[in-house]
Amino acid sequence: MESTLRRTWAEVDLDALENNYRRIRKHIGENVKFLGVVKADAYGHGAIQVSKLLEKLGADYLAVSSIDEALELRLNEVKLPILILGHTPKEQVDRLIEFDITQAVTCKAKAIEYSEEAKRLGGTLKVHIKVDTGMSRLGYLCSGDNFFTGVDGIVEACNMPGLDAEGIFTHFAVSDEPGEECENYTKKQFELFNDVINKVEEKLGRKFRLKHCANTGAVACYPKEYFMDMVRPGLLLYGYGEFAKKMGLEPVMSFKTTISTIKVYPKGTAISYGGIFKTEKTTRIGVLPCGYADGFFRSLSNKCSLVTKEGPAKQRGKICMDMCMIDITDMPSVDVGSEVEIYGRKNPIEDLAELAQTIPYELTCAVSKRVPRAYFKNHKEIDRELMLRI
């Protein structure tokens, strides 16, 4: 594995992750539980490593998006409760029960399927009821005229044999957006969620053990009452975005590459596919073994700068599948083998995301499986993972 690091790699700073966790913990207070969102391989950081650290630090719950992601954690000895936020086909209920995985229940049809399967298997499936309060994605629709049908559907699910409704949750659509309109929308979602809970608990005659709604935006920007029993931050935990910066959190991932080859071209040379960049003078170009197949978006072509030891170097020409080029004309000390940061502590991911007209989430999730993840503690590499089948 040693050789793989000198191509393109992602450094995952476990100390930064630990600091971020502790800061968020302090912010939410002692009586609020912490669910770490580790779906999509922990936003590209490596779900096993991240989950194990969160478990060690005392997190209370994890969330993933599919049963495969949940099983990956269970088969690697992660013991924390795991909530699947997305859909699981009923054929998998036996495995959910066997591996003690909590499933979101999002509508009447699913509740019936899960209940029937659990009954048939003679087991109990732990579930969290998902309420749609305005995200308009998954969940029992409870807004406006749908309030009472929504409430009745949830009560019915909670009383179904084979299901243990441990929790209830909702998801905010605009809690991370600025402005009064978004604040009002989020507030309305929160109020509706509370109305639904109160009505359901009244009809059931018992209380949910875990009520939760706060994602990154709500954890960072909304009052403590929004934290309820448990918070569900993802992006914030990994230290990206304006809220992370405001809270003094650190970016966990640094995406890095090296200079593989250096060429000097005369004035007027077209660089890379399509020749969208032409040199204006004698130009020293570094070829980086990093392209869109590594997770470096092609839409950033000829728009961004990457950071060398002598500072930012302009990326030139189209970003290819496996390579791209940078201009290192006035950087004599930058040589073959020199490290280049695509994003990380020196080159903020937020800037690249904006240039690519996307969000940091999409960039970290796109770091591909051929990019080894190197895990750092105390500035020393303590572990490394490569997801290729070798």
The count of chain residues that interact with ligand PLP, using the rule CB under 6 A, is 11
Of 186, 216, 258, 279, which one interacts with ligand PLP (CB under 6 A)? 216
Of these residues, 224, 246, 273, 303, which one is catalytic?
A: 273
239/291 with CB nearer ligand PLP: 239
Minimum Å distance from CB 54 to ligand PLP? 14
Q: Which is nearer to ligand PLP, 211 or 232 (CB)?
A: 232
Q: Is 273 a catalytic residue?
A: yes
CA dist 90 and 274 (Å) reads 49
Q: How far is the CB of 297 from ligand PLP (least distance, A)?
A: 19
Least distance CB 234 / ligand PLP (angstroms): 2
In the complex with ligand PLP, the residue whose CB is nearer, 167 or 234, is 234
Question: Which among 6-14, 177-185, 231-239, 350-358 is the span making contact with ligand PLP, rule CB under 6 A?
Answer: 231-239
Q: Is position 131 an interface residue for ligand PLP (rule: CB under 6 A)?
A: no
CB of 169 to ligand PLP, least distance (A): 7
Candidates 112-120, 226-234, 242-250, 280-288; binding stretch for ligand PLP (CB under 6 A): 226-234
Residue reference for tokens 């992601």: 69
Task: Give the active site residue among 39, 110, 126, 256.
Answer: 39
Nearer to ligand PLP, 107 or 262 (CB): 107
Among 81, 234, 286, 360, binds ligand PLP (CB under 6 A): 234
Measured distance CA(83)–CA(365) in Å, rounded: 20
CB of 126 to ligand PLP, least distance (A): 17
d(CA 299, CA 16): 29
Q: Which residues of 285-318 are buried (b: 16+ CB within 10 A; e: fewer)?
A: bbbbbbbbbbbbbeebbbebbbbbeeeebebbbb
Selected binder of ligand PLP within 196, 235, 331, 374 (CB under 6 A): 235
Nearer to ligand PLP, 139 or 295 (CB): 139
HSE (CB half, 13 Å, CA atoms) of 58?
A: 8
Residue ranges of alpha helices (H) inside 178-337 are 180-204, 216-221, 235-238, 242-246
373 binds ligand PLP (CB under 6 A): no
Site for ligand PLP in 39-58 (CB under 6 A): 39
Shortest reach from residue 7's CB to ligand PLP, in Å: 29
For residue 263, indicate whether it is catalytic. no
Non-local (6+) Cβ contacts of 172 within 8 A are 134, 135, 186, 189, 190, 213, 214, 215, 217, 218
CA 315 to chain CA mean position, Å: 27
Q: Which is nearer to ligand PLP, 213 or 290 (CB)?
A: 213
CB of 264 to ligand PLP, least distance (A): 44
Of the residues 171, 199, 256, 373, which one makes contact with ligand PLP according to CB under 6 A = 171
Are 114 and 149 contacting, i.e. CB atoms less than 8 angstroms apart? Answer: no
Q: Which of 233, 251, 317, 360 binds ligand PLP (CB under 6 A)?
A: 233
Q: How many whole angstroms separate alpha carbon 341 and alpha carbon 334? A: 13
Output the CA–CA distances (angstroms, integers) from residue 269 to 315, 316, 339, in the order listed.
15, 12, 25
CA end-to-end distance (rounded Å), the chain: 10
- Minimal CB distance residue for ligand PLP: 234
User: What is the spatial distance between Cα 50 and Cα 327, in angstroms, rounded to a whole number?
Assistant: 36
- Whole-angstrom Cα distance, residue 214 to residue 109? 26
Q: Does 85 bind ligand PLP (CB under 6 A)?
A: yes
- The set of residues, in sequence order, having a beta carbon less than 8 Å from that of 206 and lying 6+ positions away, is none
CA distances from 284 to 27, 153, 318, 319, 334 (A): 49, 66, 17, 17, 10
| 180-to-86, 185, 187 alpha-carbon distances in Å | 30, 8, 10
Binding footprint of ligand PLP on the chain (CB under 6 A): 37, 39, 85, 171, 215-216, 232-236
Mind telling me the catalytic residues?
39, 273
